[in-house]
């Protein structure tokens, strides 16, 4: 009896839909431990990350999550800056001074 047959016998529920002699993908993959790290990609497209010393040396599988730019991202800020630059630089818009209002940490 092959290892595939043994795997399918031990997980009969998953194997009912598979052809005979084919092991489920999840049984063929080794169990992996996930560790989240913060890293940076430099100008030479190399990944730099600080890895805890408790992890053993050797090959690892890396998945990179990149934030997607949305309307609240840098493109939006650059657009507002260029579109409103005339208004923001107009001295008539400076209607408040440092003497107006109260500091947020002032006693009440």
The mean pLDDT value for 9-30 works out to 62
Range of the domain at 28: 3-47
Q: Is residue 56 part of a domain?
A: no
In a domain, 21, yes or no: yes
In 3-108, where do the E strands start and end?
Answer: 39-41, 47-49
Is residue 24 a part of any domain in this protein?
yes
User: CB 18: neighbour CB atoms within 10 A?
Assistant: 13
Provide the pLDDT for residue 6: 46
CA dist list (Å): 39 to 50, 58, 60: 7, 18, 15
pLDDT at 47: 92
Using alpha carbons only, how large is the chain's radius of gyration in Å?
Answer: 29
Tens digits of per-residue pLDDT, 89-106? 888 888 878 788 777 887
Phi, psi of 41 (to 5 degrees): -105, 125
Q: Model's pTM, two decimal places?
A: 0.36
In this predicted model, what pLDDT tens digit does every residue of 40-87 receive, in sequence order? 889 999 999 999 999 899 988 888 888 776 656 777 778 888 888 888
Instruction: Please report whether residue 14 resides in a domain.
Output: yes
- When divided into structural domains, the chain yields a total of 1
Q: Hey, how many other C-beta atoms are within 10 angstroms of the C-beta on 24?
A: 16
Residue 16 falls inside a structural domain: yes
Residue 67 lies in a domain: no
């Amino acid at each position: 009896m092959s290892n595939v047959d043994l795997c399918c016998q031990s997980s009969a529920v998953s194997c009912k839909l598979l052809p005979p002699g084919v092991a489920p993908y999840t049984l063929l993959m080794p169990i992996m431990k996930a560790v989240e790290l913060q890293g940076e990609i430099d100008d030479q497209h190399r990944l730099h990350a600080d890895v805890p010393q408790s992890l053993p040396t050797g090959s690892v599988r890396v998945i990179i999550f990149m934030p997607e730019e949305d309307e609240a991202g840098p493109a939006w800020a650059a657009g507002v800056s260029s579109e409103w630059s005339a208004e923001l630089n107009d001295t008539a818009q400076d209607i408040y001074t440092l003497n107006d209002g109260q500091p947020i940490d002032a006693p009440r």
